[in-house]
Every structure is written in structure tokens, then in C-alpha cells.
């Protein structure tokens, strides 16, 4: 396990042992922005994808509290397993839960931490919270679906708002299993400009996240599938609706007016979690922490400091 420290930023790797791969443990890359101290509750932030990297969550340092971000297994600077492409018995939710627990123990944070998750990271954070870990103080679920079937229905409604020519391109390539084509990716770019991030140009950390998936699509293609609404992997059946009531930590739910995570996608969290607050950002899609940066940070900061 190695680490380095520069100007209030500490970077390192923690070894994450995987029983099914005794000869190839994962080395999870993490970064701490700020100083971890016993009198301060740090925020652990879980990136989405699955398959992008942590970079687009560095912005949460705006909150001016100690922030921990990391690249989940198979992404960014952490160990990659391209040989596991398509192995749905390997890329399971429990793998990512175990990795999170390993990181918390390594940093000595397991008894006092806040947790934020964006999109897929919010799904992971919600599952972690439903296990009622003793050290979890507060939970922030950023544009995170409670049920992937609700997500898919939402995406299909949203794509109908796009120009018919774009819809036709998507439908043709999905029917012909040619979603890796440039034409399909360009059509997805139109979708993302409407419902993922409405800033133009798209912020570089978000663009870099897409580049990470393109560089090694193993995790995204195996768990999710070719696109946000053409979901062919095991996440298509993911749901926490039956377990959301087990989340006892005070929880903040956020989404945007034009979000992939439309209101009906997050609604089960609002119904099932006892201590919950909802904030909706009227000028945002899926990246409110960029699209309405100042207000987003104010809302999250006030919630975490209660």
C-alpha cells in the first residue's frame, strides 16, 4: 500500500483482495482532498458509470470538508480486468461493496463518515446504507435510480423528446447490434447534451469520464450495456425498492428537471426512507453539481452540517 501527500491532497493505493482472483488483487486508487481528522466527518464520494473514473467528483471539494474519492475496481488508476469482459459472475454489486468497506477500513473511517453517490455510485451508496453500517452519519444520493426498470422507462420517454432523425439512428443501430458505430455514439451525444449535462462545452472532467469508458469498457458493457437506455447487463434488473426502508441515516436526494433520473425514478427513496429530504434543481440534468454548482454546494453543505 502506497501513498503520497502534496498540498492537502493525499493519493494512494489500497490492496483489495478478491477471493476468486487470489493471484491478482485489485489496487484501488484513492485521493483525499483536505485533512482527515478525528474531529471532522469526511465525505466519501462514489462515482457513477459503472466504469467512469472519480475525476468529475473532485468538484465536491467546494464543500470545504475532507473529501475522499476513488476509482472503483476496473476503472481509472485502479486495477483493470479486461479479461473479465462479459463475466457477470465477477462484476457484481457485492464486489464494489467489499471494495468500499476495504477502503473505509484502510483509511480508518469506518466509524464516522458521510457518503455521497452519483448515479450508479448512488445505487451503490444506497445499498451500503441499507446494510446500516454503524459509522455512516449522513447519505447523499445524487441523481440515483431506486430501480433500473423505472430508469429504463424514463430514458425511453426522454429519447422521444429528441429529433426524430436521432431517434431513428438509435433504434436502427440497437436493432442491428451496431451500437459501437460512430453514428450511434454521435446520437448518444445528442441525448447526453439534453439529459446528462446541458453545459456547452461539456466540462472536461465529465468528458474524461467518457474517455475512460472508451479506453476500457469492460465494467460498463458487462454490468450495464451499450448505452443508458439500451441496458443488456445484470443492472437491468437492479432495484433497492424492497430494502430502501432499511436506510436509517438521514438522506438527501437530488435530481434535475431534465435529469435521466426523473422524479419517478427517485420516488421510491422518498417513499421508503424515513428521514429524507429532496432537492430538485430546475436548470440541471444529470450533473447538477456542475450545472448549478453554487446552489448544489449550498444545499449539500447545509445538509451535511446539520
**Residues, the chain, total?**
306
CB distance 224 to 85 below 8 Å: no
Q: What whole-number distance in Å separates Cα of residue 149 and Cα of residue 27?
A: 33
Tell me whether residue 47 is one of the annotated catalytic residues: no
CB distance 70 to 54 below 8 Å: yes
**Grid cell locating 261:** 433520473
Peptide bond before residue 201 is cis, with ω within 30 degrees of 0: yes
Identified catalytic residue from 78, 259, 284, 289:
259
Q: What whole-number distance in Å separates Cα of residue 229 and Cα of residue 181?
A: 16
DSSP tag of 163: -
Q: What whole-number distance in Å separates Cα of residue 85 and Cα of residue 222?
A: 6
Identified catalytic residue from 119, 143, 227, 285:
119
Tell me whether residue 263 is one of the annotated catalytic residues: no
Residue 31 φ then ψ, to 5°? -140, 135
CB distance 66 to 40 below 8 Å: yes
The H-or-E segment that residue 172 falls in is helix 164-175
3-state secondary structure of 11: strand
- The Cα-based distances of 255 to 33, 76, 117, 217 in angstroms read 25, 26, 12, 26
Identified catalytic residue from 54, 173, 286, 289:
286
- Radius of gyration, CA atoms only, the chain: 18
The DSSP string of 193-255 is: HHHT---SSPPHHHHHHHHHHHH--HHHHHHT-SSSS---SGGGG-B-TTTGGG--S-EEEEE
Tell me whether residue 119 is one of the annotated catalytic residues: yes
Active site residues: 119, 259, 286
Amino acid at each position: 500500500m502506497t501513498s503520497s501527500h502534496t498540498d492537502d491532497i493525499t493519493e494512494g493505493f489500497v490492496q483489495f483482495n478478491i477471493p476468486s482472483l487470489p493471484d491478482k488483487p485489485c489496487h484501488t486508487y484513492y485521493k483525499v482532498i483536505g485533512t482527515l481528522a478525528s474531529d471532522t466527518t469526511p465525505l466519501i464520494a462514489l462515482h457513477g458509470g459503472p466504469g467512469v473514473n472519480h475525476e468529475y467528483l473532485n468538484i465536491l471539494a467546494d464543500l470545504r470538508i475532507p473529501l475522499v474519492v476513488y476509482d472503483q475496481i476496473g476503472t481509472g488508476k485502479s486495477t483493470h480486468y479486461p479479461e473479465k469482459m462479459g463475466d457477470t459472475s465477477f462484476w457484481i454489486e457485492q464486489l464494489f461493496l467489499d471494495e468500499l468497506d476495504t477502503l473505509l477500513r484502510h483509511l480508518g473511517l469506518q466509524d464516522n463518515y458521510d457518503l455521497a453517490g452519483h448515479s450508479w455510485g448512488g445505487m451503490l451508496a444506497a445499498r451500503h446504507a441499507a446494510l446500516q453500517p454503524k459509522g455512516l452519519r449522513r447519505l447523499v444520493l445524487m441523481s440515483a435510480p431506486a430501480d433500473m426498470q423505472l430508469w429504463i422507462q424514463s430514458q425511453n420517454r426522454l429519447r422521444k423528446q429528441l429529433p426524430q432523425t436521432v431517434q431513428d439512428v438509435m433504434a436502427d443501430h440497437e436493432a442491428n447490434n451496431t451500437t459501437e458505430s460512430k453514428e450511434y455514439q454521435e446520437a448518444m451525444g445528442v441525448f447526453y447534451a439534453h439529459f446528462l449535462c446541458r453545459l456547452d462545452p461539456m466540462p472536461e472532467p465529465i468528458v474524461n469520464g467518457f474517455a475512460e469508458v472508451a479506453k476500457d469498457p469492460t465494467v460498463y458493457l458487462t454490468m450495464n450495456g451499450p448505452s443508458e437506455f439500451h441496458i443488456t447487463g445484470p443492472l437491468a434488473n437492479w432495484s433497492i425498492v424492497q430494502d430502501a426502508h432499511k436506510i436509517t441515516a438521514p438522506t438527501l436526494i437530488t435530481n434535475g428537471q431534465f435529469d435521466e433520473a426523473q422524479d419517478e425514478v427517485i420516488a421510491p427513496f422518498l417513499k421508503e426512507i424515513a428521514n429524507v429530504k429532496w432537492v430538485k434543481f430546475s436548470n440541471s440534468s444529470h450533473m447538477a453539481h456542475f450545472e448549478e454548482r453554487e446552489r448544489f454546494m449550498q444545499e449539500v453543505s447545509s445538509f451535511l452540517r446539520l
